[in-house]
Amino acid sequence: MLHQLYADNYKCLVNFELPLKDLTLLLGPNGTGKTAVLDVIFRLRRVLVDGIKVGAREAFPTSTLTRWDTRDVQFFGLEVEIEGDRFLYQLAVRHQRTTGQSRIETEQLRFNGMPLFSCSRGKVQLYRDDHSEGPRLTVGRQESFLGRVSTGSDHKRNRFIDFMRDLMVCALHPQSFAAESTRESTLLERDGANFADWYRHLVQERTELVVDFASNLRDVLQDFRGIRMEKVGEDTRAMLVSWRGPEGYTLRFDEISDGQRVLIVLYALIGLAGDRSVTLFLDEPDNYTALAEIQPWLMALVDACGTGKCQAIVCSHHPELIDYLGTDKGILLDRTDSGVTRTRDLSAMELEGELRLSQLVARGWLGEA
């Protein structure tokens, strides 16, 4: 479980700390930093798991520096709990504004307060599981060596990298969803475009999970029967959705409505994880869906998070989500006069009067509550 995110000198996030629960709702007006939070998580995963260079467009190019801050170093931190153990990851990226080059200044990982990995200006110190000093190395400064040294190793470091590998950031865009799969994929892309590849992988790995997944969809999608991957080429499979009716019929995944496609992906995110503990960052998951459709999914998400099956951080303006989650799980993001983003824990606020939380948010009255 991700307990806290720290970011400094990243867009509107300056000395920014975000405490997280098993289920957290991020809310606030447009431009207050909700997407920036998801961006930081997505970019850290790209650096650690995918080996993306820190200055690449998908990571931390110079353009992500806070515009009004003159410092050349960005700082990021993650506090993670895995099976009762605490991991603290910290990364500092130094930028050359004139050349646009970016390099890792420092990177470290600690386990229950003890060192596992340390890198300063390309000088790496590795630590054994008993935290005694191991090998020292000199490495390049444009990529994270932590992700490379942990892959495939039987070490505490690998537990943290595995956690980051199972972390998903999604802002679903159903028009981009492909109906055919040419390979299996272990990670769902941010816009959900490769859902067919991801689903194909999950079905191969855990076929027993598909029964409950399909059963849940039948409760929310009228006349839904099931999903199958049908061979249409040597390595290509088409995702087909079957429906009940007097004669029954089948449609390709790209032939059903945007809302139906989004609901299928949303239920897959929480229904096909199995016994893996996943952390989901979901940007406006209620887009494209009707109120009657999003309510059952929201209840399923709360149940999954309550049992420790997953952790979810949801960004939403939807009144239903705000009223259902906001008072207990809500974090309000707000921009100060200086332009930086600050957080307010709504569970600590006393809300008075007859207006619902969503109505206070819509009127901009939370500051007066």
Which pLDDT tens digit goes with each residue over 222-242? Answer: 899 999 999 999 999 999 999
186 and 305 assigned to the same domain: no
Are residues 18 and 150 part of one domain?
A: yes
**Number of domains observed in the structure of the chain:** 2
Angle at 76 between CA 74 and CA 77, to 5 degrees: 160
- 341: helix, strand or coil: strand
* Residue 28: band (very low, low, confident or very high) from pLDDT cuts 50, 70, 90: confident
Amino acid making up residue 150: S
pLDDT in tens, 323-341: 888 889 999 998 877 788 9
- Structure tokens belonging to residue 32: 């207050």
Residue 82 confidence class, pLDDT cut points 50, 70, 90: very high
Q: Are residues 110 and 21 in the same domain?
A: yes
Question: Is the alpha carbon torsion for 136, 139, 141, 145 positive or negative?
Answer: negative
pLDDT tens per residue across span 104-137: 999 999 999 999 999 999 999 999 888 999 999 9
Do 238 and 318 fall into the same domain?
no
Task: Name the residue type at position 287.
Answer: N
Residues pairing with 27 in the sheet: 332
Distances (CA, A) of 338 to 12, 31, 294, 335: 10, 14, 37, 8
The widest CA-to-CA distance across the chain, in whole angstroms, is 70
**For 128-145, what is each residue's pLDDT tens digit?**
888 999 999 999 999 999
**CA 304 to chain CA centroid, nearest Å:** 16
Domain-terminating residue out of 253, 274, 295: 274
Do 21 and 152 fall into the same domain? yes
Q: Are both 28 and 153 inside the same structural domain?
A: yes
The predicted structure's pLDDT at residue 352: 64
Other Cβ atoms within 10 Å of 286 Cβ, number: 21
Q: Which domain holds residue 175?
A: 169-274
Considering the domain architecture, whether residues 265 and 313 belong to the same structural domain is answered as no
pTM given for the model: 0.91
| Same-domain pairing of 62 and 180 | no
Q: What span, in angstroms and rounded, lies between the C-alpha atoms of 45 and 212? A: 30
Domain holding 322: CATH number? 3.40.50.300
Radius of gyration, CA atoms only, the chain: 22
Q: Are residues 223 and 79 in the same domain?
A: no
Question: Mapping DSSP to helix (H, G, I), strand (E, B) and coil, where does residue 161 land?
Answer: helix
pLDDT value of position 274? 61
CB under 8 Å to 109, separation ≥6 — which residues?
Answer: 87, 88, 89, 90, 115, 116, 117, 118, 146, 157, 160
Separation between Cα atoms, residue 251 and residue 16, nearest integer Å: 46
In the structure, what pLDDT confidence band is assigned to residue 369 with cuts at 50, 70 and 90?
very low
In a shared domain, residues 181 and 282: no
